[in-house]
Amino acid sequence: MKKTIISLLCLILLATFGLQAQKVWTLKECIEHALAHNIAIKTAGLNAEAQEIQQKNSQYQRLPYVSASASHNFGFGQTQDNTGVYVNNNSQSTSAGISSGITIFNGFQINNNIKAQQFSSLASLENLNKAKEDLSLNIASAYLQILYNKELYQLALEQVSLSKEQLRQYEIRYAHDKIPEGQLFEIRARLAQDELSATQQKQTMELSLLELSQLLELEDWKDFDVSEPDSQSLLNKEALQLPAESIYDQAQSNRAAIKSAQYEVMTSEKMLEVSRGARYPTLSLGASYSNSYYDHSGYVNPSLKDQLSSNGRSNIGLSLSVPIFNRLSTSNNIKRSNINLETARLQLENTKKMLYKEIQQAWFNAMTAEEKYQASFETIRATEEAFRFTEEKFNNGRSTMYEYNEARMQLLKTRSEQVQAKYNLMFSLKILDFYRGNSISL
């Protein structure tokens, strides 16, 4: 009884492990896994963290600095005593001090630098978001490519089944001496060709699974597979009702690439103000306190307590630094900042133009795919009628094997073109929805 229970538990564990190994991934799971494990995303996240630290560091520049120092010295030979007479003796002394200072005014450089680092930090966060968006699009594209290849593989298998059924019928006819052996060889060759095409299409499908698993950073891809949603439910054509310009207007307010470029412009504007601030005087407030203790050998030295009470010294003061000439360094820094600002503005303009081109292309692709997809239904209907007619003639011996194969290959080509148009339309619609600010989902 005990052995039976143990065996049952082992079978349950093995079944559970098998189910886990055969996990089927949804698009949402693929995207979430990729975002959590992709190295480029992790790198962009670290860059955002580093920029946040830089932002905090700029804010800390408003705080005063505090520093302390201490020293102990030994003297040998000639030295002055308290009366100013040089004597030959040894001495030692200890001194310590603390100082602090704060910048009161430096041409608003600290304030402008803080704002520049804030904008730069926001740009880094948008760069992280852009990396996530790009990865999500790549995942969705690879996912749809798998679904596309799976449908083509099913079409190839249908051709194999059709050839097998045809071979079975021909073998019966050949056994009753109704057809020559040459026709039997031809259909066998057709079956072998169809099986080769199916094998090649299966390899293409498996390669697309491998490519997606690599995007997910999966170590073992052999048991990797994706779920197959109802493709018809994904053909939401709402985006096609909007012109490309309207979609572009929506995209400008939600695309991370646009936001990042805008923050880069703001950063450059503030850095220009920082460079200009170097022309102004700098006013600082400083304070310090120091004390010392000395010991001359051969003399009666005051006690440590007495010396600390009498040797202490405090200072407080204002420091004003006025820039007059620094070898044109400030002027050149201002020119460089102006160039950086103009470059950032051009980059923003280029990003907007690239986004508009991408949306125009996606919209055009969606419209073209929609037209092809709708036209394919009538083409398939006509091609299927032509194939049935040719098949009937072939079965009655009124057409050749060549004509029959031509009709069948034309039907396969038409079906493949419809599948391609369907997935092109599906991906283009998802791209347009994505630009409108909708999340990618199937």
Q: Quick: pLDDT tens for 5-44.
A: 444 444 444 444 444 445 789 999 999 999 999 999 999 9
- Residue 285, φ and ψ in degrees, nearest 5: -110, 130
Whether 2 shows a pLDDT value over 60: the answer reads: no
Whether 389 shows a pLDDT value over 70: the answer reads: yes
pLDDT at 233: 60
Q: Span 325-350, mean pLDDT? A: 96
Q: pLDDT above 90 covers what percent of the chain?
A: 52
pLDDT at 232: 64
Question: Could you tell me if 93 and 295 are in contact, meaning their C-beta atoms sit under 8 angstroms apart?
Answer: yes
Taking alpha carbons only, the member of 235, 263, 252 closest to residue 435 is 252
Give me the residue label for tokens 């009753």.
176
pLDDT digits (tens, 9 = 90+) for 43-96: 999 999 999 999 999 999 999 999 999 999 888 777 666 566 677 778 788 999
HSE-up (13 A, CA, CB side) for residue 299: 17
Lowest-confidence region among 72-76, 99-103, 345-349, 372-376: 72-76
Sign of CA dihedral 7, 10, 12, 14: negative
pLDDT at 234: 62
C-alpha angle 150-153-158 in degrees, rounded to nearest 5 = 130
pTM of the model: 0.82
Taking alpha carbons only, the member of 404, 427, 412 closest to residue 151 is 412
Tokens of 216: 């997910």
pLDDT at 142: 94
Tokens of 402: 């060549």
Whether 282 shows a pLDDT value over 70: the answer reads: yes
Q: How far apart are CA 399 and CA 403, in angstroms?
A: 6
pLDDT at 78: 74
pLDDT band, very low/low/confident/very high, at 210 (cuts 50, 70, 90): very high
Which alpha helices (H) appear in 38-180, and where do they start and end?
39-59, 109-175
pLDDT at 82: 58
pLDDT at 404: 79
Q: Span 400-415, mean pLDDT? A: 84
pLDDT at 422: 87
Highest mean pLDDT among 8-17, 202-211, 361-370: 202-211
Lowest-confidence region among 78-87, 359-368, 409-418: 78-87
Question: Could you tell me if 26 and 442 are in contact, meaning their C-beta atoms sit under 8 angstroms apart?
Answer: yes
Q: Span 325-344, mean pLDDT? A: 95
Q: Span 427-442, mean pLDDT? A: 84
Q: Span 102-121, mean pLDDT? A: 95
Category of 437 on φ-ψ map: left (φ > 0), alpha (ψ -120 to 50) or beta: left
pLDDT at 14: 44
- The more confidently predicted of residues 144 and 222 is 144
pLDDT at 201: 95
Tokens of 168: 């079975």
Domains (range + CATH), the chain: 26-62+106-281+327-435 (1.20.1600.10)
Q: Number of helices and strands (H, E) in the chain?
A: 10, 8
Average pLDDT of every residue of the chain: 87
pLDDT at 195: 94
Whether 137 shows a pLDDT value over 70: the answer reads: yes
